[in-house]
Amino acid sequence: MPGSHGTRRKSRSVMTKGNVIRGLSYLLISYQVGDKVIVNIDPREHTTTPHRRFQGRMGIVKEVGRRTLKISVLLGKKEKILQTKPNHIKPLLAERKEGEDEEKEEEQEQEGKEKSDRDN
């Protein structure tokens, strides 16, 4: 009997998540063009599910529709466009500008100096 070669083949670990209660907050995030996102396949939703090769990949939002998003993902040297619903992606939280860290450190140092001056 020949093996199956469907699109969900060898994806048992990716397509099965624990019974984690996610709530609805992930659906309320509004994405803008240019936002960086991570593809995180939600196995509860079968329509517009990206292929399993895109699980965990980072992409950039190219177009925002009413119900779907178009995301540009680099796969090797090629750019692939995914059209998916917002429940299959999550925002990239580690996105910070380089100057922000230095500014925050300077502000904290100034606040610390002001507090020490007040105490004396």
Cα–Cα distance list, 66 to 30, 33, 35 (Å): 11, 13, 16
Structure tokens at 84: 């998916």
Set out the domains of the chain in order of their start, with CATH numbers: 12-95 (2.30.30.70)
Cα–Cα distances in angstroms (integers) from residue 12 to residues 39, 60, 96, in the given order: 17, 27, 34
To the question of pTM greater than 0.95 for the whole model, the response is no
Predicted confidence (pLDDT) at residue 52 exceeds the cutoff of 80: yes
pLDDT tens-digit series, residues 59-115:
999 999 999 999 999 999 999 999 999 989 999 986 555 556 666 666 767 776 666
